[in-house]
Protein backbone atom coordinates (compact mmCIF):
# COMPACT_ATOMS: atom_id res chain seq x y z
CA UNK A 1 0.00 0.00 0.00
CA UNK A 2 1.37 3.42 -0.96
CA UNK A 3 1.98 5.86 1.89
CA UNK A 4 -0.40 8.78 2.32
CA UNK A 5 0.46 12.41 1.57
CA UNK A 6 -0.37 15.61 3.43
CA UNK A 7 -0.45 18.82 1.39
CA UNK A 8 -0.86 22.14 3.21
CA UNK A 9 -1.19 25.59 1.72
CA UNK A 10 0.09 28.21 4.14
CA UNK A 11 -1.93 31.33 4.88
CA UNK A 12 -3.92 33.23 7.47
CA UNK A 13 -7.58 32.48 8.27
CA UNK A 14 -10.49 34.83 7.64
CA UNK A 15 -11.75 36.98 4.76
CA UNK A 16 -9.31 39.78 5.61
CA UNK A 17 -6.52 37.65 4.11
CA UNK A 18 -8.31 36.15 1.11
CA UNK A 19 -6.56 37.02 -2.12
CA UNK A 20 -3.36 38.26 -0.46
CA UNK A 21 0.10 37.24 -1.60
CA UNK A 22 0.73 35.56 1.76
CA UNK A 23 -2.28 33.27 1.16
CA UNK A 24 -1.24 31.99 -2.26
CA UNK A 25 -0.64 28.56 -0.71
CA UNK A 26 -4.29 28.45 0.36
CA UNK A 27 -5.29 29.40 -3.19
CA UNK A 28 -3.40 26.34 -4.46
CA UNK A 29 -5.25 24.09 -1.99
CA UNK A 30 -8.54 25.58 -3.20
CA UNK A 31 -7.56 24.74 -6.79
CA UNK A 32 -6.59 21.17 -5.85
CA UNK A 33 -9.93 20.73 -4.07
CA UNK A 34 -11.75 22.02 -7.16
CA UNK A 35 -9.94 19.49 -9.36
CA UNK A 36 -10.72 16.67 -6.95
CA UNK A 37 -14.37 17.68 -6.58
CA UNK A 38 -13.91 17.97 -2.81
CA UNK A 39 -14.55 20.67 -0.21
CA UNK A 40 -12.55 21.49 2.89
CA UNK A 41 -14.31 20.78 6.17
CA UNK A 42 -13.32 21.38 9.79
CA UNK A 43 -11.42 18.58 11.51
CA UNK A 44 -12.41 18.35 15.16
CA UNK A 45 -9.54 18.99 17.54
CA UNK A 46 -6.98 19.50 14.77
CA UNK A 47 -7.24 23.27 14.13
CA UNK A 48 -7.48 22.65 10.41
CA UNK A 49 -9.82 22.25 7.47
CA UNK A 50 -9.23 19.07 5.49
CA UNK A 51 -10.30 17.35 2.29
CA UNK A 52 -9.38 13.75 1.55
CA UNK A 53 -8.93 12.42 -1.96
CA UNK A 54 -6.72 10.12 -4.05
CA UNK A 55 -4.38 10.81 -6.92
CA UNK A 56 -3.04 8.47 -9.56
CA UNK A 57 -2.25 8.40 -13.24
CA UNK A 58 -5.79 9.56 -14.07
CA UNK A 59 -5.48 12.68 -11.89
CA UNK A 60 -6.99 13.89 -8.65
CA UNK A 61 -10.09 12.09 -7.46
CA UNK A 62 -10.17 9.66 -10.40
CA UNK A 63 -10.04 5.92 -9.67
CA UNK A 64 -6.74 4.27 -10.58
CA UNK A 65 -4.93 1.14 -9.48
CA UNK A 66 -1.89 3.15 -8.40
CA UNK A 67 -3.82 5.96 -6.67
CA UNK A 68 -2.31 7.36 -3.47
CA UNK A 69 -4.25 8.84 -0.57
CA UNK A 70 -3.87 12.60 -0.23
CA UNK A 71 -5.09 14.94 2.51
CA UNK A 72 -5.42 18.58 1.45
CA UNK A 73 -5.14 21.00 4.36
CA UNK A 74 -5.73 24.59 5.32
CA UNK A 75 -4.70 25.57 8.84
CA UNK A 76 -7.17 27.45 11.03
CA UNK A 77 -4.26 28.98 12.93
CA UNK A 78 -2.43 32.13 11.93
CA UNK A 79 0.66 31.74 9.79
CA UNK A 80 3.14 31.88 12.67
CA UNK A 81 1.35 28.96 14.39
CA UNK A 82 1.00 26.74 11.31
CA UNK A 83 3.20 24.07 12.86
CA UNK A 84 0.68 23.38 15.62
CA UNK A 85 -1.97 22.30 13.12
CA UNK A 86 0.48 20.48 10.82
CA UNK A 87 1.84 18.43 13.73
CA UNK A 88 -1.67 17.48 14.91
CA UNK A 89 -2.83 16.37 11.46
CA UNK A 90 0.43 14.61 10.58
CA UNK A 91 0.45 12.68 13.86
CA UNK A 92 -3.22 11.71 13.50
CA UNK A 93 -2.77 10.53 9.90
CA UNK A 94 0.65 8.94 10.40
CA UNK A 95 2.32 11.22 7.83
CA UNK A 96 6.12 11.34 7.80
CA UNK A 97 7.98 14.54 6.79
CA UNK A 98 9.04 13.06 3.43
CA UNK A 99 5.34 12.83 2.53
CA UNK A 100 4.51 16.39 3.61
CA UNK A 101 4.23 19.07 0.91
CA UNK A 102 4.09 22.70 2.08
CA UNK A 103 3.00 25.38 -0.42
CA UNK A 104 3.96 28.95 0.45
CA UNK A 105 4.66 32.42 -0.89
CA UNK A 106 8.28 33.33 -1.61
CA UNK A 107 9.39 36.96 -1.88
CA UNK A 108 12.82 35.97 -3.20
CA UNK A 109 11.23 34.57 -6.38
CA UNK A 110 9.71 36.82 -9.03
CA UNK A 111 5.98 36.50 -9.72
CA UNK A 112 5.34 33.69 -12.18
CA UNK A 113 8.21 31.53 -10.92
CA UNK A 114 8.04 28.31 -8.91
CA UNK A 115 10.79 26.51 -7.03
CA UNK A 116 10.40 23.00 -5.62
CA UNK A 117 12.82 21.65 -3.03
CA UNK A 118 13.14 19.26 -0.13
CA UNK A 119 14.61 20.43 3.16
CA UNK A 120 16.34 23.69 3.93
CA UNK A 121 15.84 26.61 6.29
CA UNK A 122 12.86 28.91 6.71
CA UNK A 123 14.33 31.97 4.91
CA UNK A 124 12.50 34.22 7.38
CA UNK A 125 9.07 32.72 6.58
CA UNK A 126 7.15 32.41 9.85
CA UNK A 127 4.95 29.58 8.60
CA UNK A 128 7.95 27.44 7.70
CA UNK A 129 9.66 28.40 10.94
CA UNK A 130 6.67 27.15 12.95
CA UNK A 131 6.44 23.87 11.01
CA UNK A 132 10.16 23.21 11.44
CA UNK A 133 9.88 23.89 15.17
CA UNK A 134 6.89 21.60 15.74
CA UNK A 135 8.11 18.74 13.52
CA UNK A 136 11.70 19.09 14.78
CA UNK A 137 12.91 18.85 11.18
CA UNK A 138 12.97 20.82 7.96
CA UNK A 139 13.06 17.71 5.80
CA UNK A 140 9.74 18.18 4.05
CA UNK A 141 8.94 19.22 0.47
CA UNK A 142 8.30 22.87 -0.30
CA UNK A 143 6.50 24.37 -3.29
CA UNK A 144 7.69 27.98 -3.29
CA UNK A 145 5.41 30.32 -5.22
CA UNK A 146 7.06 33.57 -6.29
CA UNK A 147 5.37 36.82 -5.23
CA UNK A 148 8.42 39.08 -5.62
CA UNK A 149 9.76 41.81 -3.40
CA UNK A 150 7.93 45.11 -2.84
CA UNK A 151 8.85 48.15 -4.90
CA UNK A 152 10.86 50.91 -3.29
CA UNK A 153 11.01 50.89 0.49
CA UNK A 154 7.65 49.26 1.17
CA UNK A 155 7.71 46.89 4.15
CA UNK A 156 7.79 43.26 2.90
CA UNK A 157 5.23 42.35 5.59
CA UNK A 158 2.77 44.92 4.21
CA UNK A 159 3.51 43.69 0.68
CA UNK A 160 2.68 40.03 1.31
CA UNK A 161 -0.41 40.92 3.37
CA UNK A 162 -1.81 43.09 0.56
CA UNK A 163 -4.31 41.69 -1.92
CA UNK A 164 -3.05 40.96 -5.41
CA UNK A 165 -4.27 43.83 -7.64
CA UNK A 166 -7.06 42.93 -10.06
CA UNK A 167 -4.83 43.55 -13.10
CA UNK A 168 -2.34 40.96 -11.78
CA UNK A 169 -4.91 38.42 -10.58
CA UNK A 170 -5.14 36.53 -13.88
CA UNK A 171 -1.37 35.99 -13.89
CA UNK A 172 -1.49 34.83 -10.27
CA UNK A 173 -4.29 32.39 -11.12
CA UNK A 174 -2.08 30.87 -13.84
CA UNK A 175 0.72 30.52 -11.29
CA UNK A 176 -1.67 28.89 -8.79
CA UNK A 177 -2.72 26.36 -11.43
CA UNK A 178 0.95 25.59 -12.21
CA UNK A 179 1.68 25.09 -8.51
CA UNK A 180 -1.26 22.68 -8.31
CA UNK A 181 0.17 20.83 -11.33
CA UNK A 182 3.51 20.67 -9.51
CA UNK A 183 1.93 19.10 -6.42
CA UNK A 184 0.23 16.45 -8.55
CA UNK A 185 3.52 15.72 -10.34
CA UNK A 186 5.46 15.37 -7.08
CA UNK A 187 2.99 12.77 -5.86
CA UNK A 188 2.64 10.81 -9.10
CA UNK A 189 6.16 11.06 -10.57
CA UNK A 190 8.45 12.15 -7.73
CA UNK A 191 10.17 15.37 -6.69
CA UNK A 192 13.03 15.19 -9.20
CA UNK A 193 10.67 14.89 -12.17
CA UNK A 194 8.61 17.78 -10.82
CA UNK A 195 11.72 19.93 -10.31
CA UNK A 196 12.86 19.28 -13.87
CA UNK A 197 9.49 20.39 -15.18
CA UNK A 198 8.55 23.31 -12.93
CA UNK A 199 11.66 24.88 -11.38
CA UNK A 200 12.34 28.23 -13.01
Q: Which of 22, 99, 104, 125 is catalytic?
A: 22
User: What DSSP assignment string belongs to the chain?
Assistant: -PPPEEEEE----SGGGTTBGGGHHHHHHHHHHHHHT---EEETTTTEEEEEEEEETTEET---TT-EEEEEEEESS-GGGHHHHHHHHHHHHT--GGGEEEEEEETTS-TT-EEEEES---TT-HHHHHHHHHHT---SEEEEEE--PPSTT--HHHHHTSBPPHHHHHHHHHHHHHHHHHHHHHHHH-HHHHHHHHB-
78 is in an annotated binding site: yes
**Pairwise CA distance, residues 7 & 104, whole Å:** 11
Residue 22 is among the residues annotated as catalytic for this protein: yes
Crossing angle (nearest 10°) for helices 126-135 and 82-93:
40
Known binding residue 123? Answer is no
Question: Binding site: what residues are annotated?
Answer: 17, 78, 80, 126
Catalytic residues: 22
Question: Binding site for tRNA: what residues are annotated?
Answer: 17, 78, 80, 126
Amino acid sequence: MSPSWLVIGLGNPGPRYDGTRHNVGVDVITELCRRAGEKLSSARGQRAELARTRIGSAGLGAPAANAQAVTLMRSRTYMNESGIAVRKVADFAGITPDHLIVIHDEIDLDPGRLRLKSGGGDNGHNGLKSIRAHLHTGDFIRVRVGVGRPPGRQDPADWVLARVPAKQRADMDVQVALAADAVETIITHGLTAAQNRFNS
